[in-house]
């Protein structure tokens, strides 16, 4: 500003503000949050013009995916990136900090949402559309993306709440009794979890006097493992383990995930628990990695128990989507291994597993939606004959089931192999055994799904050799058929691709893992100078 300007401040603002102009590529960091937010706002404004919702959402999600891809490309090339809201100099002000982990998760989430939303045309009825399915979806994506990209721990809490309140809206969309029941449990338990997260944030601020993630990482390392910080790390582990649905904090998930429309369940299964896993990785490994030594044994037991209990729950289930809910939980156990062990190999395996699990679980829930749309029920006793009715679709689902169980050559196999190897490398044979045993139990569970729903000739009571397709409706409208089955095939293709060429995602996961284990490098990138 000119010196004669009466509004020019009497002090040099460069002391506290970033004065360098922001480039277009800097905006890549914040646009993934702004795009869904603005799209969501427009959708809320035109809530009565429901015919506009679908094209606008598709546009917003495609834009989001494109921007995420560009951002991922830049992070791969340059390392962690930061943009300060309002131009305040770090560690003051709210930072958006993207590392490889956040960019990978955000890109996968945008891809999953883009593909899964294609099913919403036939799957979401007019009443649910008028109630606001698409605006809630875009606000959910705002929350998810914000959580992956933020560099400020209080801001992370805000994004958690944004995605939580949109997920409430999506859960009660149909106002059915089961949905209200599920939302009560989901809502209360998740609210308790985020409140514990907020307690942790408050105490962390009281102890370290900062909320910037890079600054926290530096100051926690400088402080060493001491009483309040270790307790705060425990609070974070409790809160995020509950968000991620780790045993024994998992009971809200099988109570709620099967109640909404299949599209909504698919998005939840693909995105929400992974936000919890992401937060666990980020906070307990990158930020407070030197404070969590006391919890290692607890986390190891938790990971093993989550894997086994999830697989057992899947075997004991009789409702298709509830079985899938337990398989989600079982997968969370594998992702916890990285948090528990903390070695580069285990973290690589966990991140790899989380990325492929987003694709596989979303695809499986969408496939369950197709089965329910055709048979009118999710009870495996009353299902059957799908192989006779739709052999191609059944084959696609078989690939997904193999991927969940971790059978080669599909995507679930590689991260599990890495996890077994790295568990043995840090002398935790019990953990390696838990991976293998849970893999065996998962194979049993998915084998049962395949046998009951697809392979046998008809519902329970159909004689051997006979084929009874009376319960399997044909989806009349070809456009609906493409919209419902197409996304499953696209996601399955991605799963097969990852299985055949594991090095691409594996390389990203390895880079993200080494980023998590290098807090000094992260701090230097964000704050611009080595920590004092």
Footprint of another protein on 403-432 (CB under 8 A): none
Instruction: Report, in Å, the least distance between residue 111 CB and another protein.
Output: 24
Which runs of consecutive H residues, i.e. helices, occur in 283-390? 296-316, 320-341, 344-375, 386-389
Q: Check binding of 7 to another protein (CB under 8 A).
A: yes
**What 3 state SS string does 157-210 have?**
HHHHHHHHHHHHHHHCCCCCHHHHHHHHHHHHHHHHHHHHHHHHHHHHHHHHCC
For another protein, what does the binding mask look like between residues 119 and 158, x meaning CB under 8 A?
-------------x--x------------------x---x
Instruction: Report, in Å, the least distance between residue 517 CB and another protein.
Output: 29
Tell me if residue 225 falls in helix, strand or coil: coil
Q: Check binding of 496 to another protein (CB under 8 A).
A: no
Of the candidates 423, 418, 399, 431, which has an alpha carbon nearest to the alpha carbon of residue 507? 418
Q: Check binding of 40 to another protein (CB under 8 A).
A: yes
Contact with another protein (CB under 8 A) among 66, 121, 202, 344: 202
Q: Check binding of 317 to another protein (CB under 8 A).
A: yes
Angle between helices 262-280 and 100-117 (to 10 degrees): 180
For another protein, what does the binding mask look like between residues 363 and 392, x meaning CB under 8 A?
-----------------xx-----------
Q: Check binding of 450 to another protein (CB under 8 A).
A: no
Instruction: Report, in Å, the least distance between residue 354 CB and another protein.
Output: 26
Contact with another protein (CB under 8 A) among 57, 167, 259, 362: 259
**Tell me, what DSSP letter sits at residue 97?**
E
Whether 188 contacts 71, CB under 8 Å: no
Whether 506 contacts 197, CB under 8 Å: no
Contact with another protein (CB under 8 A) among 69, 315, 437, 531: 315
164 to 183, contacts with another protein by CB under 8 A? 164-165, 168, 172, 175, 177-183
| Number of residues in contact with another protein under rule CB under 8 A | 80
What's the length of the chain? 532
Q: Check binding of 256 to another protein (CB under 8 A).
A: yes
Q: Check binding of 44 to another protein (CB under 8 A).
A: yes
Instruction: Report, in Å, the least distance between residue 193 CB and another protein.
Output: 12
Residue 356, preceding bond cis, omega within 30 degrees? no
Contact with another protein (CB under 8 A) among 98, 255, 359, 389: 255
Strand 95-98 relative to strand 81-84, pairing: antiparallel
93 to 122, contacts with another protein by CB under 8 A? 96
What does each C-alpha distance from 515 to 328, 336, 419, 473 come to in angstroms? 26, 18, 18, 50
Contact with another protein (CB under 8 A) among 53, 274, 428, 456: 456
For another protein, what does the binding mask look like between residues 212 and 251, x meaning CB under 8 A?
----------------------------------------
Tell me if residue 98 falls in helix, strand or coil: strand
CB atoms within 10 A of CB 224: 9
Q: Check binding of 48 to another protein (CB under 8 A).
A: yes
What does each C-alpha distance from 6 to 10, 12, 13, 148 come to in angstroms? 10, 15, 15, 42
């Amino acid at each position: 500003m000119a010196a004669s300007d009466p509004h020019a401040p009497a002090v040099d603002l460069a002391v506290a503000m970033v004065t360098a102009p922001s480039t277009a590529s800097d905006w890549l960091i914040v646009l993934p949050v702004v795009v869904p937010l603005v799209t969501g706002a427009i959708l809320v404004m035109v809530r009565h013009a429901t015919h506009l919702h679908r094209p606008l959402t598709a546009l917003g999600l495609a834009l989001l995916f494109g921007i995420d891809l560009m951002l991922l490309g830049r992070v791969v090339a340059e390392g962690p990136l930061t943009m300060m809201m309002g131009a305040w100099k770090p560690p003051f002000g709210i930072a958006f900090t993207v590392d490889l982990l956040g960019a990978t998760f955000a890109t996968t989430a945008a891809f999953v949402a883009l593909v899964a939303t294609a099913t919403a045309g036939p799957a979401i009825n007019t009443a649910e559309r008028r109630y606001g399915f698409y605006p809630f979806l875009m606000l959910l994506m705002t929350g998810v993306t914000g959580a992956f990209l933020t560099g400020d721990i209080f801001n992370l809490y805000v994004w958690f709440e944004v995605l939580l309140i949109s997920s409430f809206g999506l859960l009660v969309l149909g106002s059915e009794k089961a949905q209200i029941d599920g939302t009560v449990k989901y809502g209360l338990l998740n609210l308790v979890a985020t409140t514990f997260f907020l307690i942790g944030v408050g105490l962390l601020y009281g102890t370290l006097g900062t909320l910037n993630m890079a600054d926290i990482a530096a100051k926690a390392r400088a402080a060493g493992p001491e009483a309040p910080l270790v307790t705060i790390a425990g609070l974070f582990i409790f809160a995020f383990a509950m968000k991620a649905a780790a045993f024994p904090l998992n009971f809200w998930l099988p109570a709620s995930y099967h109640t909404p429309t299949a599209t909504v369940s698919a998005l939840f299964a693909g995105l929400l628990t992974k936000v919890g896993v992401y937060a666990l990785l980020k906070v307990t490994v990158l930020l407070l990695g030197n404070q969590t030594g006391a919890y290692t044994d607890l986390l190891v037991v938790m990971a093993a128990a989550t894997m086994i209990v999830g697989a057992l729950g899947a075997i004991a289930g009789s409702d298709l989507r509830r079985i899938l809910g337990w398989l989600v939980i079982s997968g969370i156990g594998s992702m916890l291994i990285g948090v528990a062990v903390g070695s580069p190999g285990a973290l690589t395996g966990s991140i790899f597993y989380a990325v492929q699990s987003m694709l596989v679980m979303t695809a499986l829930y969408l496939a369950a939606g197709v089965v329910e749309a055709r048979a009118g029920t999710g009870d495996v006793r009353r299902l059957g004959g799908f192989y006779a009715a739709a052999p191609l679709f059944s084959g696609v689902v078989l690939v997904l089931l193999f991927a969940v169980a971790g059978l080669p050559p599909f995507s679930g196999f590689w991260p599990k192999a890495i996890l077994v190897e790295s568990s043995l490398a840090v002398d935790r044979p019990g953990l390696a055994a838990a991976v293998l045993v849970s893999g065996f139990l998962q194979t049993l569970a998915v084998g049962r799904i395949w046998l009951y729903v697809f392979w046998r000739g008809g519902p329970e009571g159909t004689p051997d050799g006979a084929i009874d397709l009376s319960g399997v409706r044909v989806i009349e409208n070809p456009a609906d058929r493409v919209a419902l089955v197409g996304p499953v095939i696209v996601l399955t293709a991605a799963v097969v691709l990852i299985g055949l060429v594991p090095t691409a995602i594996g390389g990203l996961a390895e880079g993200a893992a080494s980023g998590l284990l290098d807090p000094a490098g992260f701090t230097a990138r964000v704050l611009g100078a080595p920590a004092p």
